[in-house]
Each structure stands twice: as C-alpha cells, then as structure tokens.
Structure 1
C-alpha cells in the first residue's frame, strides 16, 4: 500500500529511520540550494566587477581622447599663427582654413560628454525595495547601459580625432607645398 513503510524502512520499533532520512534529504536540498545561490552570488559579483573594470577602461579611453583633442587644438593654433605670418597665396589660405578646421574638430572632442548615468538617489530608493538578487540584476543592467553609452562615446571621439589629425596633416602638406612653390 502506498504510504506504508516496508520492513527495511521502519527499523526496530519505529526508530525514526525514515524521519532521519527525510531530514537529511531536506537538509541536503537546503544546503545544495544555498550553494547554488552562493555560486549565483559569486557569479553576479564577477559580472559586476567585470562591468566596473570595463567602465573604468572606457572612461580612461575617453579621457585620453580629450587629451588628444587638446593637443590637436594646440597644434592647430600654433600652425595657424605661423601661417598668418607667411605671404598670402591660394595654398596658404587653404592650409590656414584646414588648420582652423582641425582646431574646431579638436574643440568638438573637448566638449563635455553628456551621457547616461545612473542617478544614485533614485536608484537606491528603487533598488532597496527589491530582493537582493533582483537588486543585483538591476544594478548590473544599469551598469551595462552606462557602459554601452561610454563605448559609443569613445567610438565617436576616436573617429573625430582621426578625422581631425587627418585634416591637420593635410594642412601641413599644403603649407609645405605652398612654402616650396613660393
């Protein structure tokens, strides 16, 4: 019959062998579940740490583009000043315009970046209401979004810097050709 214990499960005089086995199974299940949750927490921490590392790298990359933009503006300004002192001809005017153009591109790189950032006060109020695992996931999702914005900004700035330095080199070449021909 269902629910009856066989002679091997009952033990001597109802010693509770079945009850002990059931408790061991429950304890084993709870310990396995805690281990799974602990592994999940470790994995979430790993993902969170990796996102923070990637955000730090993206921020450093953006900062280096700002430095390159400042160098571009300085070099363009210096060579524009040198061009003005030369005798005026068509190539000199064109190279001066290109120097000024590369300077403007450098200024575009230097302008403040208004990207997405998590508002800590509002986020804290929202995340504090969530269970621990859901709060971790919400924080990770927010950081992923910010990282995507930072990477997009870095890519845009890298293209601007490359274009700006290309314009600067073209201006140098025209300036040199103008000096040689004149």
Structure 2
C-alpha cells in the first residue's frame, strides 16, 4: 500500500475546495470581529457601575451580577484591582435594565490538582481542579446574598458593596 500524495484524496479539486472553505471561514471571522450589533428587541439599559470591598479592602477579580427578576435579564461585570466594575448585559458596558436588582458577587481561586490529589484507587487519575472561595460563598447565591440595588433611568447608578 502506497502512502503517496494521490492516495490521500487531496487531488487538485479537493485542494481548491479546502482553500475556498478556509478563505470563507477567515472572511466570516473577520466580519464577526466588529462585535455584537444592537438588537431592537433588547430591553432598554442604563449605565451602571460600582465597587466591591471585602473586609474594607478592594476586591479584585470578583464577578458581580445584577439580576432584574421582573425583566428576567442579568448584567455582569468583573472588578479591577481597585474593586471597580462596569456592568454589561448584551454588549460591552451597556449597563442593565432599570429596576430593582438582586446582586451576587463571586470571587474564587481555581488551582490545578497537585500530586497529593491523585486518587490511586481510581487508577492514578488526578482529581478535579480545586476551588477556593475568596469571599463567603453566600454572596454568590441570589437567595442568600442579601444584596440588592435599585437602578434608575437618569440616576447615578454607582453602587458600593461592603462585604464582611
């Protein structure tokens, strides 16, 4: 059995098809790189920002979610080194739907398994990644966080969350 180029089914017509498919894929990706266009069916949003502190210190890399139960829409943002966040619902920094929001804050550190985590009884397979909560887990639960915010049209909508 020969392993020549012609036996790999990559003849000239197949190569042209592969090149055309590749070129089309690149063109489609280039067209998508401009971001998401505004959709007229999306509810109106207003800018909203805030800051998260934990035990008096800015909380970096926390994911903050504002859930509007009435509109059933959620906006999220990630805190920077100073604990500041800007909310996004559909497109970057577009804010959230006005109204009363249930707020959650999630901040975890995910680490790979260590050799000590290998389960010998499972054939030496490493366990899952470890998740360490950097703030109390209750803040990540909409029914337990105790955090709310009221976002208004024309309001400042800059919120401060002091977590303990």
Same fold, judged at TM 0.5 (above): no
Higher strand share: 2
Higher relative contact order (CA 8 A, sep 6+): 1
> Structure 1 length normalisation: TM-score?
0.21
Higher helix share: 1
> Structure 2 length normalisation: TM-score?
0.23
